[in-house]
Amino acid sequence: MMLEEYIRSLLPSDEASVVSACAEVSLKIWEEMPRRKAVLSTTNPYGEKQAELDVLSDNLFRKRILETGEAAEVVSEESPPTHSKGKVHVAMDPLDGSSNIDTNNPVGSIFCLFTERLPCPAKYISSAFYFTYGPMLTLTLSSGKQVCRFVVSKREGGYIFTLAEESLKIKEEGEIYSFGAQRREWIEPVLRYVEKLEDRGMKLRYCGTFVGDFNQILKYGGIFGYPATKSKPRGKLRVIYEVLPISFIARAASGYSSNGKNDILSLEPSSLEETTPIYVGSKALVKELESTISREYT
């Protein structure tokens, strides 16, 4: 089944229009990746250096989303918020993992659609989705009930997204673990927990892009973490742009996400800048780590 037909049966028409618009733009970004690899002198609102493709992605997604007339606001990691007259509140990380472009590792774009002005709690999420630019261009989408994946294929007249998988589930018995930050910076309960995973024979798989690493967990089961560290006890990943959408998708795939003490989806962010530790994947594994951290690191 093709994307347009499927999402209009799954989502309200305004949200479906936003997803379709983003799918159009993802094709343009995919095509531009070989040509847009420069690092610019500009920084995003958080003081981080921007790649040329960061800025291009932000501009293209924002422009096309606003053109649908369905967006109430678009907030992004790369630029100040934009407000309009629609009803859909859009949070996006327009290019997740831009440092991976030169090495041809996976890169992504993450979106979360809300029904209330941002920032707001996860209970106002209506759908979430992300694109993965790797050997294939894929779209992974959830309305909260299930997770489906579309893949781009070439047909006469151009490229189209077609349904590849429905009802994706995270395996209960995980095979891999994927943790960011330097091991020497991890808090002690995380370090001991990962050593236990290694003793059990679980395999390390880490590519340095949230979307890429989560994709592996979604396929093989296991646990991803960007933990609390000694220098960053509140973690690195941003709640609104990255953590909530991936956690929403994980829950729909029978997984679980935690900040080490509580369910990520119970958080009530007070700012667009807020960050948090995140551990997401197979429910039993995340619960085990959550219990370890709560018991040993308070």
Percent of the chain with pLDDT over 70: 94
Q: What tens digit of pLDDT does each residue of 166-196 get?
A: 999 999 988 999 999 999 999 999 999 999 9
In contact, 109 and 29? CB cutoff 8 Å? yes
- pLDDT score recorded for residue 129: 98
Burial class, 145, CB count within 10 angstroms (exposed 0-12 / middle 13-18 / buried 19+): exposed
Mean pLDDT for the stretch of residues 207-236: 94
Predicted confidence (pLDDT) at residue 61 exceeds the cutoff of 60? yes
Closest CA to 122 of 245, 235, 12, 18: 245
Q: Does the 3-165 domain belong in CATH 3.30.540.10?
A: yes
Percent of the chain with pLDDT over 90: 81
pTM for the complete prediction? 0.94
Average pLDDT, the chain: 92
Q: What tens digit of pLDDT does each residue of 268-296 get?
A: 999 999 999 999 999 999 999 999 998 76
Please state which of the ranges 41-45, 165-169, 209-213, 258-262 shows the lowest mean pLDDT.
41-45
CA–CA gap between residue 34 and residue 251 (Å, rounded): 34
- pLDDT score recorded for residue 154: 86
Predicted confidence (pLDDT) at residue 298 exceeds the cutoff of 60? no
44 or 240, higher pLDDT: 240
Amino acid letter for position 5? E
CATH 3.30.540.10 domain residues, the chain: 3-165
- pLDDT score recorded for residue 294: 84
CATH 3.40.190.80 domain residues, the chain: 176-296
Q: What tens digit of pLDDT does each residue of 107-166 get?
A: 999 999 999 999 999 999 999 999 999 889 999 999 999 999 999 998 877 899 999 999
| Sheet of strand 158-165: strand arrangement | 82-83, 71-76, 88-96, 107-114, 125-133, 137-142, 147-155, 158-165
Q: Does the 176-296 domain belong in CATH 3.40.190.80?
A: yes
Supply 49's token pair: 């250096």
- pLDDT score recorded for residue 297: 59
In contact, 240 and 104? CB cutoff 8 Å? no
- pLDDT score recorded for residue 42: 62
